[in-house]
Amino acid sequence: MQKYICAFDSGTTSNRCILFDEKGEIASVAQKEFRQYYPKPGWVEQDANEIWATQLSVAVEAMQKINITANQIAGIGITNQRETTIVWDRETGEPVYHAIVWQCRRTAEYTDYLDSQHLTGWFKEKTGLIVDPYFSATKLKWILDSVPGVKERAKRGELLFGTVETWLIWKLTRGRVHVTDYSNASRTMMFNIHTLQWDQEILDMFDIPSCMLPKVVNCSEIYGVTDKSFLGAEISIGGAAGDQQSALFGQTCFEKGDVKNTYGTGGFLLMNTGDKPVESKNGLLTTIAWGLDGKVTYALEGSIFIAGAAIQWLRDEMHLIDSAEDSEYMAKKVKDTGGCFVVPAFTGLGAPYWDPYARGTIVGITRGTNKYHIIRATLESMDYQVNDVLQAMQADAECKIHELKVDGGASKNDLLLQMQSDILNIPVIRPKCVETTAMGAAYLAGLAVGFFKNKEQIASLWEADHIFTPVITEEQRAKKIAGWQKAVSYSYSWAREN
Ligand code: ADP
């Protein structure tokens, strides 16, 4: 009987289920979007029950598509949108409030206050993170403080907290298992990445009762089995990891110094830093890549706010292209950008510049500049931003990065990746299967249930589709990077009041 490993990929806008066979190849996919709620400017919420219902329904659909039964599924691995915060009643399973999504800025004033109290260093030392509404802790505090009666119920031990993987595992096991994995725990701003415990001092500061927190477990181990009523049989749940860490695992970045970048709406670079956390001096986050067999592997993470989103801007606001794919052949109509640079600092600049007041800029326009130059320069802006973060990573980790593995929607663009290799001066490698996020979860679960033997076997399944190597000279590269840096400097502080 043919067996499969199942990945639940619970993303920010949709849930997917992918079934992989023993060769690590995709056998079936189902996907369904769920609703986003924007109750106020800057606020983002989702209905946790809808996340669960859509995730379960795509699992059923993926199985039906290839006509298999639950007995043919060796195990389930979960990867998820990180930091999104859910609180629910441990008896009824009813959420006390909508899920507060990672993008939600409702606690910005409070984190500004924490900053003003000079607590940034204190949090960074413990959690590896900067103080920001992005992470779960202040979202959880907001629910406890703002939803009537919730603080008291939590203190009485009636409520549970979880990020999305915790919620899905709890639902799948009908409330029998309340766990989170190391990678997701490390994004909550409550987890001490050195002691590998929930940090009691942080919990005290936020008045968060520890009885509502999940047990922290490895990213690959059998947490429990699904209740028979859901998929027709009990299935082992054997893996969990946050989406970016899962992609790092899916790219088989198992060795210290291995790096991947995901080109989605934003960009996410992660570097495996081995068994020691590396503190960043360049605005990167220190986080946990995964915990395997009780041993934790750390990562450095740098995010780019606007990556593929700049291509959406070309399409939806500028109407220069009809589809994201068109950006490639349109950009190829010119041999270079003609000295033009687009800095897509639409929402400020992240690492290593950290200027929330920076705004988008186009510089170097001449009488001969046309839309193809602008399109090409927008594509190139993704490459320069990746280079900026990668240089910061090299400086922090004090090592040289030898190659970059890539995935995400925009990684289909050959020109983008060729220019990436040119700017970085290292090979850029795109795998055959770019569903690396789901693959990571499938690998983690597969290791736990014996579907895959070990990491070496997994590494042998990973195949390159295309390796892009640098073709420009050192002089050309230096000139391009200097031009970009000058362009970035023109975008600084634009939105500052005075
Ligand atoms: P997310 O997971 O963040 O929703 P995806 O990984 O699905 O993102 O990638 C979608 C992003 O990639 C969009 O911002 C889109 O503009 C960009 N994109 C998709 N295809 C291409 C392409 N061929 N060239 C450049 N950008 C692309």
Residues contacting 23, CB < 8 A, separation 6+: 461
Shortest-distance Cα residue to atom 26 of ligand 1: 410
Pairing verdict, β 86-89 and 159-162: antiparallel
Residue 115 in contact with residue 138, Cβ under 8 Å?
no
| Confidence at 149, pLDDT banded by 50, 70, 90 | very high
Ligand 1 center to residue 266 CA distance, Å?
A: 9
Name residue, tokens 């970048």: 261
pLDDT exceeds 90 at position 134: no
107 in contact with ligand 1, CB cutoff 6 A:
no
The pLDDT tens digits of the residues spanning 77-126 come to 999 999 999 999 999 999 999 999 988 888 888 988 998 999 999 999 99
Output the pLDDT for position 350: 81
Output the pLDDT for position 498: 63
The pLDDT tens digits of the residues spanning 317-338 come to 999 999 999 999 999 999 999 9
pTM of the model: 0.92
d(CA 10, CA 167) in angstroms, rounded, equals: 11
Residue 413 in contact with residue 379, Cβ under 8 Å?
yes
Q: Give 366-374's long-range contacts (Cβ < 8 A, gap of 24+).
A: 366/338, 366/339, 366/340, 368/338, 369/338, 369/340, 370/334, 371/320, 371/330, 372/330, 372/331, 372/333, 372/334, 373/334, 373/337, 373/338, 373/340, 374/314, 374/318, 374/320, 374/340, 374/342
Shortest-distance Cα residue to atom 13 of ligand 1: 308
**Cα 97 → chain centroid:** 24
| Confidence at 275, pLDDT banded by 50, 70, 90 | very high
Instruction: Please give the number of the atom of ligand 1 that sits closest to the Cα of 266.
Output: 3
| Confidence at 349, pLDDT banded by 50, 70, 90 | confident
412 in contact with ligand 1, CB cutoff 6 A:
yes
| Confidence at 18, pLDDT banded by 50, 70, 90 | very high
Output the pLDDT for position 289: 97
Q: What is the mean pLDDT of the chain?
A: 94
User: Between 468 and 22, where is the model more confident?
Assistant: 468
Output the pLDDT for position 262: 95
409 in contact with ligand 1, CB cutoff 6 A:
yes
